[in-house]
Amino acid sequence: PRFCDEDAFRVFKSATLEAPACYIPNVCISEAKVVYVPDYLSATMTNLVACGLPRVEFYPSSALPESSGPRAPHVLVSPNVPRDHMPHFMQDFGAQLTALDMFFGEPAGSAETVVYCRSSGPAAKFKVGNARDGGAVPKSLETAFLLDAKVKEEYSTGPWVRKFISFLPTTGEAAVPLYVDELFDAPKKKACFKGLVTSPSNALPSSLSRKHAIFEKNGISKRESTGCEALQVIILDRYAAVDCSGVPPPFHRGLGLTRCFVCLLLLLATHRKDQAKTTGRNVQSGRNIVNIKDFEQAIGDLRTQNPQYKFDLTTEYFEGATFERQIEVMQKADMIVAVHGAALTNVIFMRPRASLIELMPFGYVATLFVDMAASVNVRVQQVISEPDPERFEACLHRWNREDSEYFKNVEPNINLFKSVAERYIASGRKKDVIHLPFKQVTFASSCVRSQRLNLPIKVTVKILATWLEKRCA
């Protein structure tokens, strides 16, 4: 029936996905995440809630809700707005990826489908059945996604997020980004769409470890990383920071400038400006491996002493690298030693059974990329860098804005960091002694992340040697 083709509410379930995906026709949404659906769907409220909709209200199917714009021809994928920063964006994007794989990926052919159709006109009466064949899946899924306005900006990770959206499956020419500041540009405004695709799951789907729809669409390999021949070992580093701790307050305040702006001027004036020109990359600051040459030498020695380990070693920097180049590097890698940071969001593009060593700043705890790696079946181990109390102290003083409440906690936090670092070294570098309960300093955690990374070379090389031995056994 034509009502099934156009106005059917569909629920898809598959044994290969953790959560169902739903297609809800003729929806409108508000900035407050209220989802407005036609009143003929009121009889299936339980299923709407099970689809993960945050708040549902009904409108008469004979007209669009009050204060709504014209209905867009797109199918909106999730009413949620993911955060703009790459790692957090990917954390928030689990429901969207699950739903997309149900409609475009391998599970679609075997999915159990329940379809709720109007039998005639606007009457609230439904036919229920498993109707995978005969139009249960909408023929047109020109997908659109809600994005934070910050994604439009060119600095930080906005370009990566925009490019990722362009890689997502759609029956149109390209997935459409919709920025909430433009979509809801008037009070109480509602945006209406041909349909809504959603899923209750917020976790990254396990299908990322095999041929997910986004990989299928873009020719991204999910062939397992196996064997011992021609392995690719990659160090993923960051460029060194420009040290702005020496910019005196009278200088930047006298010019009416922030220290950050003066720091940017210093960056442009340093030799790293030429470095950026010659490498074709923009230089960003922080968390670089300070003993990288020694580490490269140690890995070279490992290869020389063990000729059965046949691998190439390269060092990469993702600052300024294109989205496609980042995928290319992650795709070819069998083993990566990488600095903790947003660039590791690209771990989702690694092949199953590849390996990752994540280099963590001393005292900083985060398992975000461990979880992402697990979702794509990549083995991961975190390694703690040596403490850098000098950089931590300089960072805290850098943010001093003559706030007495702030300033009185700076020295106690510096002393705390130093004492914990001393205990850590004295214990033989046992990570269970690391505990840094900082006192009311907003930037303390950021300053922990700003440490230069002195890689524990022996520990890291031993991990690599163990993995290589298993691969080549």
What separation in angstroms does the CA of 38 have from each of 120, 122, 196, 296?
14, 9, 12, 62
Task: State how far the Cα of 333 lies from the Cα of 234, in Å rounded to an integer.
Answer: 6
Q: Does residue 386 register a pLDDT over 80?
A: yes
pLDDT average, residue stretch 209-221:
87
Q: Does residue 32 register a pLDDT over 50?
A: yes
Task: State how far the Cα of 284 lies from the Cα of 62, in Å rounded to an integer.
Answer: 54
Q: What is the pTM of this model?
A: 0.85
Q: 102-125, pLDDT tens digit by residue?
A: 778 755 445 677 777 765 544 344
Give the angle subtended at the CA of 364 by the CAs of 363 and 367, to the nearest 5°. 135
Query: Residue 58: enclosing H or E segment and its boundaries?
Result: strand 55-59
Indicate the DSSP class of residue 289. Answer: B
Cα 48 vs. chain centroid, distance in angstroms?
28
Task: State how far the Cα of 229 lies from the Cα of 247, in Å rounded to an integer.
Answer: 51
Task: State how far the Cα of 344 lies from the Cα of 328, in Å rounded to an integer.
Answer: 14
Q: Is 270 helix (H, G, I), strand (E, B) or coil?
A: coil
Q: Does residue 182 register a pLDDT over 80?
A: yes
Q: pLDDT value at position 278?
A: 33
Residues in the chain: 473
Pick from 86-95, 200-209, 347-356, 402-411: least confident: 402-411
**437 φ/ψ sector (left φ>0, alpha ψ -120 to 50, else beta):** beta
Q: 433-473, pLDDT tens digit by residue?
A: 788 888 766 678 888 998 999 999 999 999 999 999 999 88
Task: State how far the Cα of 199 lies from the Cα of 123, in Å rounded to an integer.
Answer: 27
pLDDT average, residue stretch 40-45:
82
Task: State how far the Cα of 40 lies from the Cα of 125, in Å rounded to an integer.
Answer: 8
Residue 213 CB partners (closer than 8 Å, separation 6+): 100, 101, 103, 104, 105, 106, 169
Q: Which residue has the higher pLDDT, 440 or 128?
A: 440
pLDDT average, residue stretch 310-327:
94
Q: Which residue has the higher pLDDT, 53 or 8?
A: 53
Q: pLDDT value at position 242?
A: 56
Check: CB of residue 457 under 8 Å from CB of residue 298.
yes
Q: Is 271 helix (H, G, I), strand (E, B) or coil?
A: coil
Q: pLDDT value at position 298?
A: 96
Q: pLDDT value at position 288?
A: 92
Q: pLDDT value at position 441?
A: 65
